[in-house]
Amino acid sequence: MRKVTVYDVAELAGVSIATVSFAFTRPDKVKAQTLRSVMEAADQLGYVPSGSARGLARGRTGAIGIYSFDYLLDPDDDKPATDTETPVPDGRLFPLYADEVQRGVQIECRRRGYALMLGGNRASEHLPHVIEVAGRVDGLIAFAGALTDSARRQVTARIPVVELGGLELDGARTVLVDNESGMCDLTLHLVEQHHYRRFAYVGELGTEEFKARRRGFERALRSQGITAPEIVPAHAGDDASTLRAVAEILARPERPEAIVCDTDQSALAAIVALRAAGLRVPNDVAVTGFDGILAGRIAAPVLTTVRQPMEQIGRAAVEILSRTLDGQDAVAPASLLTCEVFVGSSCGTH
């Protein structure tokens, strides 16, 4: 049986082969009626475009990569699949901020005609996997902390990179989100609406977004004449570190009125730890998070948090890469994306 070609589709749709190519690679550049005609012709003929052929013609792969942490990955995942799938161990681990940002990336890639290649690992030291993904795409989106400094330099020397939640280093661009103001607004809510004065802060300073959240927390308390407590270390996705943090907090002579966590994952783990210690949330201790993941919205109590515009972040990252690949000025669609405080019941009555 003869293989269906782009020429066959063009003839049936009554358009040029260039228009057929654009319909599959840059659908946003093709008129709606023309796009429908091409897709109907392709469907009727059973046409599947050759990515490798298009790539050779354009000097591109037509694909964008996204690389992130995946807390569900395990060293055993590299083994052959068995008849029984491994169950997801904890509902707090999926979907996360990264998963919802990825959805925005997928939507925008589809709108612009890019294929999407996914990659991830539990640790940033897995350089071979990063390079393997980067070697197969035209541009890469990575989450802050997912690339080592050496990996970032190595990849940006070859293709454009957007590193989310980081600074613009080694030629990598970023999408700026106002984490500082979001955390500041949340902390002010706790002081002004609930009249809390004793706080604990659980989190880390590993990336620029975490540093910004801490700055927002300190700025809010400083404006109210309250001294900010030291950070009690915990890492998102590592519940054991949050359990240790809560144990350290409860061992202090005076219990805080509110525990402010720099991620929803840590906040949800903190609620579990407090309950295990016989304390009620928010009656005995209020707890807040940051990000706005699904698990927080269906938790009991519903988590008070700062919601990030996660889909918008993903779409903005694709737009920056698309502009770069087209030789345009790669400026983010919005100079600073905003967050919003979502008041659930974990911070107390209001």
Q: In angstroms, rounded to a whole number, what is the distance separating the alpha carbons of residues 21 and 29? A: 11
pLDDT at 265: 93
Give DSSP secondary structure letters for 169-197.
Answer: -TT-B---B-HHHHHHHHHHHHHHTT---
List the domain boundaries for the chain: 6-58, 63-176+310-337, 179-308
Contact 293, 321 (CB under 8 A): no
pLDDT at 121: 67
pLDDT at 192: 97
Q: In angstroms, rounded to a whole number, what is the distance separating the alpha carbons of residues 241 and 22? A: 50
Q: In angstroms, rounded to a whole number, what is the distance separating the alpha carbons of residues 229 and 70? A: 31
Pairing of strands 115-121, 63-69: parallel
pLDDT at 275: 97
pLDDT digits (tens, 9 = 90+) for 270-307: 999 999 999 999 999 999 999 999 999 999 999 999 99
Alpha carbon separation from 184 to 31, 75, 221, 340 (Å, rounded): 45, 39, 8, 11
pLDDT at 290: 97
Tell me, yes or no, if the two domains 6-58 and 179-308 fold the same way.
no
pLDDT at 133: 81
Q: Treating both helix axes as pointing N-terminal to C-terminal, what angle do 17-25 and 51-58 enclose, rounded to 10 degrees?
A: 110
pLDDT at 171: 83
Beta bridge partners of 118: 66
pLDDT digits (tens, 9 = 90+) for 19-34: 988 887 777 778 989 9
Q: In angstroms, rounded to a whole number, what is the distance separating the alpha carbons of residues 196 and 258? A: 7
Q: Taking the model in full, what pTM does it have?
A: 0.77
Q: In angstroms, rounded to a whole number, what is the distance separating the alpha carbons of residues 234 and 260? A: 12
What fold, for 179-308? Answer: Rossmann fold (3.40.50)
Considering the domain 63-176+310-337 in this protein, what is its CATH number?
3.40.50.2300
- Nearest to 99, CA basis, from 253, 322, 264: 264
Contact 275, 259 (CB under 8 A): no
Q: What angle do CA 186, 191, 195 make, to 5 degrees?
A: 140
Q: In angstroms, rounded to a whole number, what is the distance separating the alpha carbons of residues 133 and 140? A: 8
Cis amide bond preceding 87, omega within 30: no
Q: Treating both helix axes as pointing N-terminal to C-terminal, what angle do 264-276 and 239-250 enclose, rounded to 10 degrees?
A: 50
SS3 state of residue 339:
coil
Q: In angstroms, rounded to a whole number, what is the distance separating the alpha carbons of residues 216 and 338? A: 13
**286's tokens:** 């209020």
Strands (E), the chain: 63-69, 115-121, 139-143, 161-164, 199-203, 231-233, 258-261, 286-288, 305-307, 340-342
Low-confidence ranges of the chain (pLDDT < 70): 1, 48-59, 69-94, 121-128, 329-335, 349-350
Q: Domain 6-58 is in which class? A: mainly alpha
